[in-house]
Amino acid sequence: MSSESGTYADLPNNTDKSWWKDPGLRKNVFHIAGLCVCPFYLGYDSALLTGLQALPYWKDYFGHPTGTTLGLITASISFPTVITSFFASWVAEKYGRRWAVWIGTALIIVGGIVNGLANSLAMLIIARVIIGAGGGMTKVVAVALLHEIAHPRLRPLAASIFYSLYYSGSILAAWLTFGTLYIKSDWSWRFPALVQVLGPVIVLSMTITMPESPRWLVKSDQAAKALDILANYHANGDSLDPLVQYEYREIVDAIEQENLSNRVSYLDFFRNEPNRRRLAVLVAISLGQNWIGNGIISYYLSPILNTVGITDPTQIVGINGGLQIFNLVMALGASMCIERIGRRPLWLASTFGIMCSNACIMGLSAGFAINKTQALGVAVIPFLYIFYGFYDIAWTPLPYSYSSEILPFSMRTKGMAIFVATQNIGAAFNQFVNPIALQAIAWKYYGVYLIVEAAYLVFMWFYFPETKQKTIEEVSVIFDKYGKGGKAKDLQVNAMDQARAAGKDTAEHVEFSTGEGKKSTEQK
């Protein structure tokens, strides 16, 4: 960013420094919070399935699934997302971001009800397919919409909290299944399965009055509405606020440049070096979310604990519940530090820590398998917490936030569709193979993840740039320095100069280009 032009933080803004004291920012935070609840369903599902594997009535009802059958049940939530993620991108680009979020949320509610009422293995799998179909839509669009409506001052923290709230669902599911251990009927698993609809119901209630993305409105020749939304949510109605003018100018310039480049196809990810780098980072992060060792713990904690001699259902569900609370605290703590520490240091520290703790888990599991020493089995538990402590400082808050912000507007939902589809292909494979591999080679399976984690460290060192302290438009063009030099700087300087012009205490007019033609607004 140019030192002569400063940053968006240097511009006057008609808001209070504390968001809770400001009416416009309170509305902004309310809708952001609704979007942040979207990952609730997936965190709930992960902890729910772990808890259900410890519930005797669930195991009896579905025939004690293991190996291939358990892998199919787990992976079924990922299969439909490969298709619905691209459908979500199409809906978001044609009808607006909000509709994709609402449709996906409604599908999760339907799937949750079917899941709780399932009377056969086939019905259980169908329910999870419906949940996955809806979840794939919300994961593509919710984080993109959050980036696009959030006040620049709130955006980095809000975006990093987005996926951290995955653990709010995990905590509820883990402790519900702990409590329902004492229900001596099928309601011990039906009740927690039905509660999965709570998250999407909250999402719908908090986003039903949410504004559309200003970026989408400008792209759809509705620039006046876009300016009104920016003014109402970022400056309490002042359309001539210097920060609002800066944001608006950036959006218009960025979309005009994207229109000139005709970047409207998925093939554009392969047409130049910056976009190929974006694609490489997207695919690496999406696969890494399940392929650096967490996938085996998230869904198969119960079999893991069984391999080290911990088989009591109360102990397994209790460990699961404690782990989810720890995860939420660590992820939220890391989210608060992202703008100060930076994305790149957190990515590297997180992955290195995961690799070291995974090596310890492998060693302790091997020791228990060979010597049957109970102390070695119990020692695995704290290292599971250490593993997730490192995972939570980057791999929880950053994947969706970082992936979405490095994409320009015209490619944002397309890129996130690729991200979510790839993630779920990887997750489906991972979830299907994990129980089979655990059953076959037990502790030796951790060695595969150690190799993957080492490869990720090398890739991140060369391909993950820093993005802190920038607006969403500035972040999205960082990769373009590998192509046409100066684009990010020129965009920022142009927008900053026009915002300052709008902020002068004169009666001059500020002209700006919209999708509807040239317009002028008089300085108050």
Residue 462 CB-density burial (10 A; 0-12 exposed, 13-18 middle, 19+ buried): exposed
How many angstroms separate the CA atoms of 27 and 108, rounded? Answer: 26
The CA dihedral of 244, 250, 254, 255, to the nearest 10 degrees, is: 20
Contacts of 51-54 with CB under 8 Å at 24 or more apart are 51/173, 51/174, 51/176, 51/177, 51/178, 51/192, 51/317, 51/320, 52/177, 52/189, 52/192, 52/193, 53/302, 53/303, 54/177, 54/181, 54/302, 54/313, 54/316, 54/317, 54/320
Predicted local confidence at residue 275, as pLDDT: 86
Q: Does 377 have pLDDT greater than 50?
A: yes
pLDDT band (50, 70, 90) for residue 4: very low
On whether the CB atoms of residues 105 and 138 are closer than 8 A, the answer is yes
Answer positive or negative: Cα dihedral of 266, 343, 321, 197: negative
Predicted local confidence at residue 160, as pLDDT: 84
> In whole angstroms, how far apart are CA 32 and each of 147, 233, 252, 293?
9, 11, 23, 30
Lowest average pLDDT, out of 155-169, 481-495, 507-521, goes to 507-521
Most confident of 250-259, 295-304, 370-379: 250-259
Predicted local confidence at residue 159, as pLDDT: 86
Q: Does 1 have pLDDT greater than 70?
A: no
Predicted local confidence at residue 292, as pLDDT: 83
Q: Does 503 have pLDDT greater than 50?
A: no
Q: How wide is the angle at C-alpha 197 spanned by C-alphas 167 and 283, nearest 5°?
A: 50
Predicted local confidence at residue 253, as pLDDT: 84
β partners of residue 291: none
Strand spans (E) along 129-227: none
* Residue 510 three-state SS: strand
> Could you read off the pLDDT of 87-123 as tens digits, one per residue?
998 999 899 999 999 999 999 999 999 999 999 999 9
Predicted local confidence at residue 175, as pLDDT: 87
Q: Does 298 have pLDDT greater than 60?
A: no
Q: Find the mean pLDDT for residues 452-479.
A: 83
Residue 497, both tokens = 């100069």
In a domain, 497, yes or no: no
Q: Does 504 have pLDDT greater than 60?
A: no
In a domain, 279, yes or no: yes
Q: Does 363 have pLDDT greater than 50?
A: yes
Q: Does 442 have pLDDT greater than 50?
A: yes
Q: Does 489 have pLDDT greater than 60?
A: no
Q: Does 485 have pLDDT greater than 60?
A: no
Q: Does 508 have pLDDT greater than 50?
A: no
Q: Find the mean pLDDT for residues 260-288.
A: 82
Predicted local confidence at residue 384, as pLDDT: 82
Predicted local confidence at residue 440, as pLDDT: 65
Q: Please count the other Cβ atoms lying within 10 Å of the Cβ belonging to residue 291.
A: 22
Q: Give the count of domains, the chain.
A: 1
pLDDT band (50, 70, 90) for residue 431: low
On whether the CB atoms of residues 14 and 235 are closer than 8 A, the answer is yes
Nearest to 132 by CA among 80, 62, 69, 187: 80
Rounded to two decimals, what is the model's pTM? 0.74
In a domain, 89, yes or no: yes
Average pLDDT for the chain: 81
In a domain, 445, yes or no: yes
β partners of residue 518: 513
Q: How wide is the angle at C-alpha 412 spanned by C-alphas 406 and 266, nearest 5°?
A: 110
Dihedral-angle region of residue 212 (phi above 0 means left; psi in -120 to 50 means alpha; beta otherwise): beta
Could you give the percent of the chain with pLDDT greater than 70? 82
pLDDT band (50, 70, 90) for residue 486: very low
Nearest to 32 by CA among 134, 161, 198: 161
Q: Find the mean pLDDT for residues 156-180.
A: 87
On whether the CB atoms of residues 32 and 400 are closer than 8 A, the answer is no
In a domain, 509, yes or no: no
The enclosing domain of 366 has a CATH number of 1.20.1250.20
Q: Find the mean pLDDT for residues 36-65.
A: 87
In a domain, 388, yes or no: yes
DSSP 8-class letter at 185: S
Predicted local confidence at residue 28, as pLDDT: 95
Could you give the percent of the chain with pLDDT greater than 90? 34
> Could you read off the pLDDT of 336-351 as tens digits, one per residue?
888 888 899 999 999 9
Predicted local confidence at residue 491, as pLDDT: 44
In a domain, 12, yes or no: no
User: Domain residues for 123?
Assistant: 17-213+232-243+251-482
In a domain, 349, yes or no: yes
Lowest average pLDDT, out of 259-263, 285-289, 414-418, 484-488, goes to 484-488
How many angstroms separate the CA atoms of 236 and 230, rounded? Answer: 9
β partners of residue 513: 518
Place of tokens 């970026």: 215
Predicted local confidence at residue 295, as pLDDT: 64
Predicted local confidence at residue 34, as pLDDT: 94
Lowest average pLDDT, out of 119-123, 337-341, 375-379, 456-460, goes to 375-379
